[in-house]
């Protein structure tokens, strides 16, 4: 066995171990032999069911959603153990089987008896055993509601994590403390469509699941390797090339994966060692990958499947959401790219020799791998097909584009057909498994929204922040304070929560605060989405940064702080859109928008210079302050602020060049 092969196996094992540690989705049971085949077939059939249900089912929403949840309980408990101690080949304890059967029974009972139950259970008082209006079997109905919620909560702990459960638990305690009784809470959370089956799960069943399955197919076409090779070909030769490769490849891969941690480990296992070999410190290398992978969640047109949720919550066409997301994504990655470049120049780092890089002329032959994404965007943009049908067609195209690679590997038709069939089964299975976490997270996000609705907490929170902001004499400072408080809420609520559920929580709790303050709906939703996402790189619960530090073998906290610094654009850009919504809406004409984008980019350059402390030479502390202030002035809309900021950034640049020449 070659050393290269051994190293590859070691790297894959290391990446898998890191994923198990930091990514709940990857801490799964180990199935081998016949049990593995059975589990693979079951998860693949679930994907087939999701596609069929999305495209053809005419059943009422609660019927579809309870079946959805019942299947997810079966797959969830087959896939996720209670603890790492249970991770051994072909092992599942008896109590997990009990939880799986009982949980599935509760949801399927509701599903199969839905039309009967809607005639019997018409209010919370009907399932209150102590009430006068209680129906026969009230205790049973109340019990299945309680058991279902608890079993989903335990599954959430296993595959999503504790942070979101803490939020749900705190809100449930608040709900009971506010005077709601148990039957009322169970009726809302289980039997109604304001709890487990609220908008997040409805959107998941309608759109997200099929796009997750599409992502699983897309990954197996080899498009991720194509993105990495393409990034290498484009910028690998430049100063600090591997870091720039990490930024571009992670942006492209991350928009499909929908997981900051998963993308950090997948692309980071390749890019982080390359960065360290070039000369970057481990803390910086891990941070670059984490920041870029997290940014993949805001990268259109897919945005880690969150774009479809945003479309539903805002009531705007999907393609409009994707177009609005372009400018924030450009500014975010421009900020990281500038910082990476300045760090490379400061350390005197070189790029990868051109002879070692993939040739663009050779790579362009594989451009057909992008066809599924192109077809998807074309079908949706042209309003030719619905989102679900477009995704289904894109899946078929993904299967077709995978065939040429298999033909190059083996020209025998029987072998190609067998390998293609295997790829389809594996993609369906992987898509089904990936759906579990999102389904569970969306159901918990629905409970968050349900608690807020039942208690009226949203209006109280909105009122408190609005009153606080209005108590400050300056309207600008009042709005800024409200935005900072909302930002902190988003970062806390978003810790350790997957992208889609993250946005659901933010849209339910934090976006209404900003809308009440007069900020346009689109700007408000992008603001809360951004700050929910950056929780993955913001200490203390910076899971993506910690995963990057594990690969880089660096200090986790330093890596998290570096990632936060690199992603500074994510902490500035949302404020830009709240103070100047026209930048995201592009509704003030091309020239005004172009000016705003240009000044914002120069402003990000000024802020990045301040953070890195370098341009052509070391920048003294006083000038770093000037650069930071000037950069922020350029980002803030206004002719006077733009001119002042431009003078400040230009002065720092000229003084830095003068110092370099004098050295």
- 121-148: average pLDDT: 88
Sequence-separated (6 or more) residues with CB below 8 Å from residue 238: 244, 341, 351
For residue range 234-268, list pLDDT tens digits in order: 888 888 788 888 888 888 777 766 677 877 887 88
The yes-or-no verdict on residue 1 having pLDDT over 50 is no
- What was the pLDDT predicted at 390? 85
- 53-64: average pLDDT: 88
Sequence-separated (6 or more) residues with CB below 8 Å from residue 150: none
- 490-519: average pLDDT: 80
For residue range 171-199, list pLDDT tens digits in order: 999 999 988 889 999 999 999 888 899 88
- What was the pLDDT predicted at 21? 63
- 226-231: average pLDDT: 83
- 47-66: average pLDDT: 90
- 592-613: average pLDDT: 85
Range from 3-17, 18-32, 349-363, 620-634 carrying the lowest mean pLDDT: 3-17
Residues above pLDDT 70, as percent of the chain? 93
For residue range 200-216, list pLDDT tens digits in order: 888 888 878 888 888 88
Give the rounded distance of the alpha carbon of 586 from its chain centre: 25
614 bridge partner residues: 618
**In which band, very low, low, confident or very high, does the pLDDT at 545 lie, cut at 50, 70 and 90?**
confident
- 595-618: average pLDDT: 87
Nearest to 319 by CA among 386, 263, 264, 269: 386
- ∠ Cα 367 372 374 (to 5°): 75
Peptide bond into 301 cis (omega under 30): yes
- Distance of alpha carbon 77 from alpha carbon 92, whole angstroms: 9
- What was the pLDDT predicted at 4? 39
- 97-125: average pLDDT: 92
Burial class (CB in 10 A: 0-12, 13-18, 19+), 604: buried
- What was the pLDDT predicted at 3? 38
Nearest to 545 by CA among 556, 535, 534: 556
- What was the pLDDT predicted at 104? 95
Pure H helices in 471-510: 475-493, 499-509
Q: Which has the higher per-residue pLDDT, 277 or 405?
A: 277
- What was the pLDDT predicted at 5? 39
Range from 12-26, 332-346, 640-654 carrying the lowest mean pLDDT: 12-26
Place of tokens 């003030």: 588
- 473-482: average pLDDT: 83
- Distance of alpha carbon 429 from alpha carbon 79, whole angstroms: 12
- Distance of alpha carbon 368 from alpha carbon 645, whole angstroms: 44
Q: Which has the higher per-residue pLDDT, 90 or 301?
A: 90
- What was the pLDDT predicted at 16? 62
What mean pLDDT, rounded, does the chain reach? 84
- 548-553: average pLDDT: 87
- 136-151: average pLDDT: 93
Under a CB-based contact definition with an 8 Å cutoff, are residues 51 and 214 in contact?
A: no
**In which band, very low, low, confident or very high, does the pLDDT at 222 lie, cut at 50, 70 and 90?**
confident
**In which band, very low, low, confident or very high, does the pLDDT at 140 lie, cut at 50, 70 and 90?**
very high
- 516-521: average pLDDT: 86
- What was the pLDDT predicted at 7? 44
- What was the pLDDT predicted at 34? 92
- What was the pLDDT predicted at 266? 77
The yes-or-no verdict on residue 426 having pLDDT over 80 is yes
The yes-or-no verdict on residue 384 having pLDDT over 60 is yes
Collapsed DSSP state (helix, strand, coil) of residue 487: helix
- What was the pLDDT predicted at 296? 81
Nearest to 82 by CA among 69, 100, 70: 100
> What are the boundaries of each domain within the chain?
588-663
């Amino acid at each position: 066995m070659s050393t290269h092969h051994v190293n590859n196996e070691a790297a894959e094992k290391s990446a898998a171990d890191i994923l198990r540690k930091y990514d709940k989705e990857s801490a799964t049971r180990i199935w081998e032999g016949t049990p593995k085949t059975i589990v693979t077939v079951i998860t693949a059939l679930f994907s087939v069911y999701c596609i069929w249900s999305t495209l053809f089912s005419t059943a009422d929403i609660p019927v579809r959603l309870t079946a959805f949840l019942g299947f997810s309980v079966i797959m969830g408990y087959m896939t996720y153990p209670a603890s790492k101690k249970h991770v051994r080949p072909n092992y599942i304890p008896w109590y997990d089987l009990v939880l799986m059967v009982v949980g599935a029974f509760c949801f399927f009972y509701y599903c199969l008896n839905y039309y009967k139950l809607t005639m019997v259970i018409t209010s919370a008082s009907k399932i209150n055993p102590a009430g006068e209006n209680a129906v026969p079997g009230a205790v049973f109905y109340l019990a299945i509601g309680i058991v279902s919620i608890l079993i989903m909560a335990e599954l959430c702990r296993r595959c999503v994590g504790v942070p979101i459960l803490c939020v749900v638990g705190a809100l449930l305690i608040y709900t009971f403390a506010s005077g709601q009784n148990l039957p009322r809470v169970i009726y809302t959370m289980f039997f109604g469509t304001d709890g487990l089956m609220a908008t997040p799960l409805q959107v998941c069943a309608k759109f997200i699941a099929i796009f997750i399955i599409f992502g699983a197919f897309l990954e197996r076409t080899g498009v991720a390797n194509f993105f990495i090779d393409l990034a290498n070909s484009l910028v690998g030769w430049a100063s600090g090339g591997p870091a720039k490769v990490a930024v571009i490849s992670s942006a492209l891969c991350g928009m499909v994966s929908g997981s900051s941690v998963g993308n950090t480990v997948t692309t980071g296992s390749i890019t982080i060692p390359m960065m360290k070999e070039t000369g970057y410190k481990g803390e910086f290398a891990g941070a670059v990958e984490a920041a870029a992978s997290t940014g993949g969640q805001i990268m259109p047109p897919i945005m880690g499947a969150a774009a479809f949720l945003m479309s539903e919550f805002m009531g705007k066409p999907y393609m409009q959401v994707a177009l609005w997301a372009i400018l924030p994504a450009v500014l975010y990655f421009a900020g990281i790219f500038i910082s990476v470049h300045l760090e490379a120049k400061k350390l005197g780092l070189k790029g990868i020799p051109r002879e070692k890089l993939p040739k663009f002329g050779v790579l362009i032959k594989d451009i057909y791998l992008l066809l599924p994404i192109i077809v998807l965007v074309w079908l949706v943009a042209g309003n030719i097909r619905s989102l679900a049908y477009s995704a289904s067609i894109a899946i078929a195209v993904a299967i077709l584009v995978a065939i040429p690679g298999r033909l190059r590997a083996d020209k025998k038709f029987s072998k190609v057909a067998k390998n293609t069939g295997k790829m389809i089964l594996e993609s369906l299975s992987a898509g089904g498994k990936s759906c579990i976490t999102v389904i569970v997270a969306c159901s918990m996000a629905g409970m968050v929204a349900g608690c807020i609705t039942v208690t009226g907490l949203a209006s109280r929170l909105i009122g408190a922040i609005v009153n606080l902001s209005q108590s400050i004499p300056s309207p600008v400072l009042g709005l800024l304070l409200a935005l900072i408080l909302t930002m902190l809420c988003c970062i806390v609520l978003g810790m350790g929560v997957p992208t889609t559920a993250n946005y659901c929580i933010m849209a339910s709790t934090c976006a209404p605060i900003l809308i009440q303050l007069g900020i346009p709906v689109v700007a408000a939703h992008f603001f809360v989405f951004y700050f929910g996402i950056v929780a993955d790189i913001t200490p203390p619960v910076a899971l993506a940064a910690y995963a990057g530090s594990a690969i880089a073998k660096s200090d986790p906290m330093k890596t998290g702080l570096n990632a936060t610094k690199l992603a500074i654009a994510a902490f500035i850009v949302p404020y830009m859109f709240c103070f100047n919504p026209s930048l995201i809406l592009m509704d003030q004409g091309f020239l005004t928008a172009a000016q705003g984008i240009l000044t914002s980019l120069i402003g990000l350059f000024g802020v990045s210079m301040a953070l890195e402390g370098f341009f052509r030479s070391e920048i003294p502390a006083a000038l770093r302050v000037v650069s930071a202030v000037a950069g922020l002035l350029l980002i803030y809309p206004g002719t006077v602020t733009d001119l002042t900021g431009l003078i400040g950034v230009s002065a720092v640049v000229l003084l830095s060049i003068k110092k370099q020449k004098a050295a």
